[in-house]
């Protein structure tokens, strides 16, 4: 597998504060990789290190195969970033904003013209290209900022809260655009977000950071599963004598209820399948087996604060 980003024990301190601590990450190319974590977790510091805007205290990283300490110029040539502030010029038109940017990226005039059309059409803004930006809504400006980040056809896009402040419809449109860019053009998106629904919908992998430390890095599904409940509810009838199934490994308790449910508590990491098999063999009729999966929010709380599921 090709990686767009690889970090090796990447560390950055500010005085006695360790903002990023021994980070080891691998971001596969052509995917959306999300970074979640509370305020001050080190997410922005990580992006600034990866773009070569900050020097690591120790450790190293390669971005698109380039070393962050010695080849940041190449990294910025082939990647693009939309950080906290849009940095758009409000007193001029959308088109002029993109022209300035294209020139800053050392694109030729013909390249600039054709890319302006492509990126503005992508976000449905081409007809409004002559408008003065100060008259645009916040959502339109945010779209323009992402469009601008695509001007240089980056292989890697760093986005810090791209949908912050957008209404639900505009945010959904933005997410669709980002998915299209990844799926159709193979761009890698490195996404910092506090929006868990967005992370779950867009990201193939998520890293959870807290106090500069990596707590987890996995698919959203696996992160949720790791914090999921060990309680299983089985609906059915004709339950056998529970003494017959009590000894199956991984079962802590079995409680049949008069309403027809069987409440099962499993040991951490245990699976329910062997119990179901035994119950059926003992004559039970099973209608439904339900094991509650933690939401991403519950999983995040469990990881960051050590809170038990549902707390
Ligand atoms: P948020 O979600 O609030 O944007 P974050 O995860 O992006 O937070 P960072 O901005 O990376 O967090 O900050 C991580 C830690 O590093 C914080 O404690 C912050 O105060 C500290 N920090 C970041 N930049 C500097 C700096 N230039 N000088 C001193 N401390 C800094």
Neighbours of 271 (CB within 10 A): 12
User: Distance (Å, rounded) from C-alpha 299 to C-alpha 123?
Assistant: 34
* Predicted confidence (pLDDT) per residue in 255-306, tens digit: 888 788 898 888 877 888 999 999 999 899 999 998 877 788 888 888 888 7
**Span from the CA of 21 to the centroid of ligand 1 (angstroms):** 13
From the CB of 55, is ligand 1 less than 6 Å away?
Answer: no
Instruction: Return the best residue to mutate from 13, 34, 37, 41 for the ligand 1 pocket (most ligand atoms within 8 A of CB).
Output: 41
User: Distance (Å, rounded) from C-alpha 74 to C-alpha 214?
Assistant: 27
From the CB of 43, is ligand 1 less than 6 Å away?
Answer: yes
Residue nearest to atom 29 of ligand 1 (CA): 14
Q: Which residue has the tokens 């971001």?
A: 27
What angle (nearest 5°) sits at the alpha carbon of residue 77, between those of residues 39 and 191?
A: 25
* Predicted confidence (pLDDT) per residue in 122-170, tens digit: 888 999 999 999 989 888 898 899 999 999 999 999 999 888 878 888 8
**Span from the CA of 63 to the centroid of ligand 1 (angstroms):** 21
From the CB of 41, is ligand 1 less than 6 Å away?
Answer: yes
Yes or no: say if 191 and 31 are a contact pair by the CB < 8 Å rule.
no
Residue 307 has pLDDT above 70, yes or no: no
Q: Specify the 3-state DSSP secondary structure of 46.
A: helix
From the CB of 54, is ligand 1 less than 6 Å away?
Answer: no
Neighbours of 151 (CB within 10 A): 22
Q: For residue 295, which of 284, 281, 307 has the smallest C-alpha distance?
A: 307
Give the pTM. 0.81
34, β-bridge pairs: 191, 206
């Amino acid at each position: 597998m090709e990686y767009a980003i690889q970090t090796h024990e990447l560390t950055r301190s500010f005085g006695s504060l360790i903002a990023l601590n021994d980070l080891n990450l691998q971001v596969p190319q052509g995917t959306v990789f999300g970074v979640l974590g509370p305020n001050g977790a080190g997410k922005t510091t990580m992006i600034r290190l990866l773009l070569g805007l900050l020097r690591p205290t120790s450790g190293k990283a390669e971005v698109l195969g380039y070393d962050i300490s010695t080849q940041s110029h190449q990294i910025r040539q082939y990647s693009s970033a939309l950080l906290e502030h849009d940095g758009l010029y409000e007193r001029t038109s959308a088109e002029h904003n993109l022209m300035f940017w294209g020139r800053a990226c050392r694109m030729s005039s013909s390249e600039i013209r054709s890319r302006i059309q492509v990126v503005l059409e992508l976000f449905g803004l081409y007809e409004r290209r002559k408008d003065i930006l100060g008259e645009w809504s916040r959502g339109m400006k945010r779209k323009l900022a992402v469009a601008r980040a695509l001007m240089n056809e980056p292989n890697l896009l760093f986005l810090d809260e791209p949908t912050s402040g957008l209404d639900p419809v505009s945010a959904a449109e933005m997410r669709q655009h980002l998915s299209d860019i990844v799926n159709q053009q193979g761009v890698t998106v490195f996404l910092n977000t506090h929006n868990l629904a967005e992370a779950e919908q867009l990201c193939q992998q998520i890293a959870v950071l807290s106090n500069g430390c990596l707590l987890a890095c996995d698919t959203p599904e696996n992160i949720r599963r790791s914090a999921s409940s060990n309680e299983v509810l089985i609906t059915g009838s004709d339950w056998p004598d529970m003494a017959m199934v009590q000894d199956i490994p991984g079962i802590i308790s079995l409680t049949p209820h008069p309403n027809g449910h069987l409440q099962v508590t499993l040991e951490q990491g245990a699976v329910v399948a062997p119990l179901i098999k035994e119950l059926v063999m003992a004559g039970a009729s099973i209608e439904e087996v339900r094991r509650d999966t933690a939401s991403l929010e519950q999983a995040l709380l469990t990881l960051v604060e050590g809170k038990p599921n549902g707390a």
